[in-house]
């Protein structure tokens, strides 16, 4: 509302029109001007000249910028005849009422209802990490998302969100921040469970059935977009199911494809179906990393199906690790082409170290052996060795084919149970001057071994 000291103003409610009448008369003049704030729909606008458009533009900009309670306004200038009246019609709507509900798998929920019901079940995750660059160490932070699994503080996120973290903090939707500890994590399937200690009364999500998802189904996510736009909701649809996505370490994971926007910082957040149930963990998106020569990539994101990791999550909570996972107890590096040419080695995985008391030590595997085959699968990389190993369960047996001192040796191995949920570790193949301990075994670089160091 504006004021002009040169105007005589009168206002009152007109019961016939159901509108407030505002009137003023310029001092010293007899012409009276009126405008009405009314509920009825406006009449079609009359044609007006450029000055009328300019006035309309200025007033509309003022309404948008000021936001003085006018929901939607249409400005009409009656410039013809003897009328000098300007009329504004206001269409005031009530704010959207959103019901907070519990997902039951029967009643579909609107996006507003999903957010109102489960934003409090989502968390922001901030990690303190130490990065080694040459001889220098730097401390920085990384961020991600997660969701509350239980009232007493168990939280699910991606493993890559907390990988290498020295400290983990969790922020709730109400702004409260808590320290969290890592209960268990599994890199291959990119899932981890955190815990806020000494807390109760949190609101957990409801888990759904990811096996029932179909292409075209509505999905949405809530997450810490870009690490700064916390508790942002985006929505979309299921674009594909059963997608095989190759991760950076060569591991292939089954994924849900979605056009739901997944930004940096969304990793670890929940993927909701239209019933408000969590059916996936948002994990990755395709990106060309700014390569202008590559095809433009938009709307391709991925989430881990909740059915694929729910057993792991339960194992983390109960045992701290995934039960039944096979372990070999070695550290290894793939044989590079240069090494193979220099020493006449076959393609395979070079054993840097064997853990004391491990199944590999029991089987007779030695440091310096080159693994070329596990079971019926030929292996040339650490990723292939892990993939072949993961076809077995702890306690199962198979054969191990290795190259040793110019000969091929076959060993029998019975897998241990992996209790720290890490895969066979790949070491940097760059030559080392000294040996070091790696997970209880001795580590030597191939150059050291063959040159007698």
Give the pLDDT of residue 118: 95
Residue 355, in any domain of the structure: yes
**pTM across the whole model:** 0.64
Q: Are 107 and 66 found together in one domain? A: no
Q: Are 226 and 302 found together in one domain? A: yes
Q: Are 197 and 216 found together in one domain? A: yes
Residue 232, in any domain of the structure: yes
Give the pLDDT of residue 245: 84
Q: Which two tokens stand for residue 256?
A: 């849900």
Residue 391, in any domain of the structure: yes
Q: Are 242 and 150 found together in one domain? A: yes
pLDDT digits (tens, 9 = 90+) for 198-225: 999 999 999 999 999 999 999 999 999 8
Q: Which of 264, 299, 319 is where one domain is finished?
A: 319
Residues 6+ apart with CB under 8 A from 37: 19, 20, 22, 88, 89, 90
CA nearest 398: which of 420, 374, 378?
Answer: 374
Give CA–CA dist 338/346, Å, rounded.
11
Q: Are 312 and 334 found together in one domain? A: no
Q: Are 259 and 139 found together in one domain? A: yes
Highest mean pLDDT among 19-23, 158-162, 263-267: 158-162
Q: Which of 90, 109, 127 is where one domain is finished?
A: 90
Q: What is the DSSP string of 389-406?
A: HTTS-TT-EEEEEEEETT
Give the CATH number of the domain where residue 334 resides. Answer: 2.30.42.10
**Residue 171, pLDDT above cutoff 70:** yes
Which residues are catalytic, by number? 160, 190, 267
Give the CATH number of the domain where residue 280 resides. Answer: 2.40.10.120
**Residue 412, pLDDT above cutoff 90:** yes
Q: Which domain holds residue 76?
A: 7-90
**Where are the extended beta strands (E) located within 200-268?**
218-225, 229-246, 252-258
CA nearest 208: which of 274, 124, 256?
Answer: 274
Give the pLDDT of residue 134: 81
Give the pLDDT of residue 3: 44
pLDDT digits (tens, 9 = 90+) for 90-142: 555 565 567 676 777 778 999 999 999 999 999 999 999 988 788 888 888 88
Residue 1, in any domain of the structure: no
Mean pLDDT of 382-407: 92
Residue 420, in any domain of the structure: yes
Give CA–CA dist 388/245, Å, rounded.
17
Q: Are 344 and 436 found together in one domain? A: yes
Q: Longest Cα pair distance anywhere in the chain, in angstroms?
A: 114
Mean pLDDT of 236-255: 84
Q: Are 312 and 336 found together in one domain? A: no
CA 61, 66, 70, 76 dihedral sign is: negative
Q: Are 68 and 102 found together in one domain? A: no
Q: Reduced to 3 states, what is the DSSP secondary structure of residue 123?
A: strand
Residue 412, in any domain of the structure: yes
Q: Are 208 and 274 found together in one domain? A: yes
**Residue 39, pLDDT above cutoff 90:** no
Give the pLDDT of residue 232: 92
Q: How far is CA 238 from CA 146, 257, 288, 300, 445, in A?
A: 20, 6, 22, 10, 47
Mean pLDDT of 51-59: 39
Q: Reduced to 3 states, what is the DSSP secondary structure of residue 55?
A: helix
Average confidence score pLDDT of the chain:
76
Query: Could you tell me the end-to-end alpha-carbon distance of the chain, in angstroms, rounded to an integer?
Result: 87
157 strand-pairing partners: 192
pLDDT digits (tens, 9 = 90+) for 326-347: 999 999 999 988 888 888 999 9
Q: Are 293 and 343 found together in one domain? A: no
Mean pLDDT of 70-90: 47
Q: Which two tokens stand for residue 449?
A: 């071994």
Q: Where are the alpha helices (DSSP H) in 137-184?
A: 159-162
Q: Which of 319, 353, 369 is where one domain is finished?
A: 319
Q: How many domains does the chain have?
A: 3
């Amino acid at each position: 509302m504006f004021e002009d000291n040169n105007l005589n103003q009168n206002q009152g409610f007109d019961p016939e029109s159901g509108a407030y009448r505002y009137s003023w008369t310029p001092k010293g003049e007899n012409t009276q001007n009126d405008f009405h704030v009314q509920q009825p729909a406006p009449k079609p606008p009359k044609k007006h000249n450029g000055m009328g458009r300019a006035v309309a533009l200025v007033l509309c900009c003022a309404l948008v910028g000021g936001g003085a309670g006018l929901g939607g306004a249409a400005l009409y200038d009656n410039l013809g005849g003897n009328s000098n009246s300007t009329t504004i019609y206001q269409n005031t709507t009530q704010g959207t009422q959103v019901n907070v509900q519990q997902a039951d798998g029967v009643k579909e929920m609107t996006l507003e209802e999903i957010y109102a019901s489960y934003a409090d079940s989502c968390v922001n995750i901030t990690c303190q990490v130490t990065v080694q660059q040459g001889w220098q160490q730097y401390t920085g932070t990384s961020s991600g998302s997660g969701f509350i699994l239980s009232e007493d503080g168990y939280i699910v996120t991606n493993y890559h969100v907390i990988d290498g973290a020295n400290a983990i903090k969790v922020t709730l939707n109400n702004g409260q921040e808590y320290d969290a500890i890592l209960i268990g994590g599994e890199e291959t399937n990119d899932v981890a469970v955190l815990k806020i200690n000494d807390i109760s009364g949190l609101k957990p999500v409801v888990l759904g059935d990811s096996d029932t998802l179909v292409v075209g189904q509505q999905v949405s996510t809530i997450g810490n977009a870009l690490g700064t736009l916390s508790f942002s909701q985006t929505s979309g649809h299921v674009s594909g199911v059963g997608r095989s996505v190759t991760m950076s370490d060569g591991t292939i994971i089954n994924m849900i494809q979605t056009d739901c926007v997944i930004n940096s910082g969304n990793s670890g957040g929940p993927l909701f179906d239209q019933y408000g149930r969590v059916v996936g963990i948002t994990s990755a998106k395709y990106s060309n990393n700014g390569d202008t020569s590559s095809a433009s990539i938009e709307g391709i994101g991925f989430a881990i199906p909740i059915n694929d990791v729910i057993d792991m999550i339960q194992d983390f909570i109960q045992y701290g690790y995934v039960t039944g996972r096979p372990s070999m107890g070695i550290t290894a590096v793939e044989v590079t082409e240069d090494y193979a040419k220099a020493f006449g080695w076959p393609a395979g995985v070079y054993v840097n170290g064997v853990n004391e008391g491990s199944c590999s030590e029991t089987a007779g595997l030695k440091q310096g052996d080159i693994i070329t085959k596990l079971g019926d699968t030929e292996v040339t990389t650490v990723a292939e060795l892990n993939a072949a190993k993961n076809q077995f369960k702890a306690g199962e047996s198979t054969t191990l084919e290795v190259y040793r001192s110019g000969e091929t040796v076959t060993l029998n191995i019975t897998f241990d149970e992996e209790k720290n949920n890490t895969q066979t570790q790949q070491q940097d193949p760059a030559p080392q001057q000294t040996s070091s301990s790696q997970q209880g075994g001795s580590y030597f670089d191939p150059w050291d071994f063959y040159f007698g160091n």
